[in-house]
Chains A and B, each alone.
Chain A
Amino acid sequence: METLLQIFYLYTTTPIVPVVIIGVAWGIVGGALPGISPSITMALLLPFTYALDPTSAVVLLASTYVGAEYGGSVPAILINTPGTNAAAATTIDGYAMKLKGKASDALGISLYSGVIGGIIGFLMLFLLTEPLVRVALLFTPPAYFALGLLGLSVIASLSGGSLIKSLAAALIGLMIATVGTDPISGVSRFTFGESDLLSGIKPILIMVGVFAVSELFAQSSAGAWVKAGADAAKVRFPNAKLRRRLLKPQLIGSGIGTFEGVMPGAGGTVAAFMSYNEARRWSSNKEEFGQGSPEGIAAPEAANNTVACTALVPMLSFGIPGSNATAVLLGGFLIHGLRPGPQLFQESSDVIFGLYGGLAISPFILLGLGMLLLPLCIWMVNRPKPYLMAFIYALIFSGVYSIHQSTFDLVIVLIAGVGGYFMRLFKMPFLPLVLGLVLGYMVESNYRRSLVLSGDDHGIFLRDPISLGFLILAVVFVLGSLFSPLLSRLWSGKGKKQES
């Protein structure tokens, strides 16, 4: 009750409501552009958050995430090109409905399900975060070190593709985090005599470079985007009968979204596809899936909008971002000298209440803006790609320069962009890199602090029960990801034998 009163107080005394409106609007428009993921949409905003107070900055980024998850479904339905990775599952039935002349209905189902997912996601965030924070209050330096390792191991094992490449990406992030002044002795490391590097490389610069600039570089050799017809520039909400039918897939989507959001590394894309499959499994209209089923849109959209909130649970409780978008949000916290975790709830509770307040109203603002901004989204998608790219490049340069009025920052962003481009080339995931970058300080400083406390006895990490638990979990995750292909191969081999 006290929390609710605090949130209402913030609505009346701070600019949270207009900030959420701006964030959701920016998210919808950014998410609607093919290739511009929620994390890129948020990264483009990061430089602007410097000028804001911490609460507004964090609320702006979080509401952008909410808007972008819906925005991604607009091109998925209209031009069969998902604006975000998580919206890829929506293309299957969304575009099929569009081909049947039901684009407005598909957009309505997507928006309605996104709002339901957002509301459930917020409730889950509210209910799950505080109990976890109470656990996190018991953490000691060894536990924090082990937590950092756990975060890295989970992401490395879940980020898909090659475990070696994921671990390598995480290590590169950790290496970048060592640039600057040593946390214990104060000597400078890898600064090459540059005074700009003494305070380290700001995660925001790497994030903008890796997510946004590398995307521009990659898009420069990609073909033009498909045009969307202006005939579908309206949203038609489902009627009562259809709303009843959509309830089951929405609950399936939100349930899976809650679980996947809380699990670091899984994210909205996995949740959306899992929800689609489960909705089909439990549907009484299975044959409609793939042919334009409303349930095939409702489940993934509810799932990825739930994830937009529940992905914040591990980030707020432990300071471990579980997805690219939450990593960028973490960057927003760090810009203002705030480190998510149990201390944040004690020292800057106003920011947490503000974030809750922003996320509580964002589904309702999404509902209004989702309808209002649809023509703008279609107009944007139909602009010539060279002009859009030019504007995004200009926005990146202007925003980054604004942070410290430093051309050195622009150089770092370009270098990070080239690095991100080659990471795409070598199929290395970004998330482990960003995690290594933001967790690097926590891992190193707590490791060395623990050793100072224990007189160089590494046994401290095994004697501390929380640390031991995290380390065991980290080993389980890494071994699990190493052996899971083998196990699944054995399993499928067994299945084939039984079938034959």
Chain B
Amino acid sequence: MRDVVGGLVLLVFAVGYYLQSTGIARSTLNDTVGAHGVPQAFAICLGALALLLLVKAGLALVVRGPAPDLDAEMWIVQGVDPGDVGRQAADAASTPVADEVATLSRSILRMLGMLGIGVVYILLLPWLGYALTLFLLIGAVVLYQGGHAGRVLFLVMSGAAVFFWLIFVKALGIPLPAGAWTTWL
């Protein structure tokens, strides 16, 4: 099932990329291949591979039915304990497809949460400045990952903000944003 979705995503990407490549400007300096030639060839190849993947996955579905992957969790996390591989495979083999979908959905939601924290960091960086945003980033990630709020966390957030600021701004001399709020002072 995953390959069907993957094949569709690749196909959409290939089509979108191809359409975008048709808009590449023609130049008098162009060779016969042109600036658009190679990208279009790549898009066609990717489209063909996506179709192949879809056909292969479709045939597998027809022949075997929608079976859950044996390594439902392993695919996503590197550094899997190989001693547990057999056990995980045995567990996963008895896992219904619905459970696998639920596990995947949970994983994707967790990922989106981490992504959201990153996006907020980027948005706040110019306004709050490096040290303050980093302070919030550390706290947000720790709490999101199940850490406990409290004095220890506050101390770690403060220490990390100072530590990173000292390394990047003072030691490496990188001009990281001080924050728009500093102009109001």
Within 8 A of B (CB), among A35-81: 35-37, 48, 51, 80-81
Query: Which residue of the partner chain, among B73, B81, B111, contacts A81 with CB atoms under 8 Å?
Result: B81
Within 8 A of B (CB), among A381-434: 384-387, 389-391, 393-395, 397-398, 401-402, 405, 407, 410-411, 414, 417-418, 421-422, 424-428
Output the nearest chain A residue to B10 by Cβ-Cβ distance: A168
Decide if A88 is an interface residue (CB 8 Å cutoff).
yes
Least Cβ–Cβ distance between B45 and chain A, in angstroms = 6
Within 8 A of B (CB), among A214-246: 215-222
Query: Which residue of the partner chain, among B32, B78, B82, contacts A451 with CB atoms under 8 Å?
Result: B32
* CB-CB under 8 A for A394 and B6, given A82-B79, A218-B111, A221-B111: no
Question: Would you call the interface of chain A mostly helix, strand, loop, or mixed?
Answer: helix
Query: Which residue of the partner chain, among A182, A218, A389, A425, contacts B104 with CB atoms under 8 Å?
Result: A425
Are A390 and B121 closer than 8 Å at their CB atoms?
no
Indicate with 1 or 0, residue by residue over A26-42, a CB within 8 angstroms of chain B CB atoms: 00000000111100000
Within 8 A of A (CB), among B72-131: 73, 75-79, 81-83, 104, 106-108, 110-111, 113-115, 117-119, 121-122, 125-126, 130
Decide if B176 is an interface residue (CB 8 Å cutoff).
yes
Query: Which residue of the partner chain, among B2, B26, B122, contacts A425 with CB atoms under 8 Å?
Result: B2
Known: A394-B137, A405-B175. 13 other contacts (CB 8 A): A83-B79, A92-B82, A164-B56, A187-B26, A188-B25, A189-B35, A190-B21, A386-B145, A397-B134, A402-B172, A402-B174, A425-B104, A447-B38
A-B CB contact pairs (8 Å), 22 listed? A82-B81, A91-B81, A164-B52, A168-B53, A178-B42, A185-B30, A185-B35, A218-B111, A220-B144, A221-B76, A221-B110, A387-B147, A391-B138, A398-B176, A401-B176, A417-B118, A422-B9, A424-B76, A444-B38, A447-B38, A451-B32, A452-B31
User: Which B residues are closer than 8 A to A by beta carbons?
Assistant: 2-3, 5-6, 9-10, 13, 17, 20-21, 24-27, 29-36, 38-39, 42-43, 45-46, 49-50, 52-53, 56, 73, 75-79, 81-83, 104, 106-108, 110-111, 113-115, 117-119, 121-122, 125-126, 130, 134, 137-139, 141-147, 156, 160, 164, 167-168, 172, 174-176
User: Which A residues are closer than 8 A to B by beta carbons?
Assistant: 34-37, 48, 51, 80-85, 88, 91-92, 95, 162, 164-165, 167-168, 171-172, 174-175, 178, 182, 184-190, 213, 215-222, 384-387, 389-391, 393-395, 397-398, 401-402, 405, 407, 410-411, 414, 417-418, 421-422, 424-428, 444, 447-448, 451-452, 456
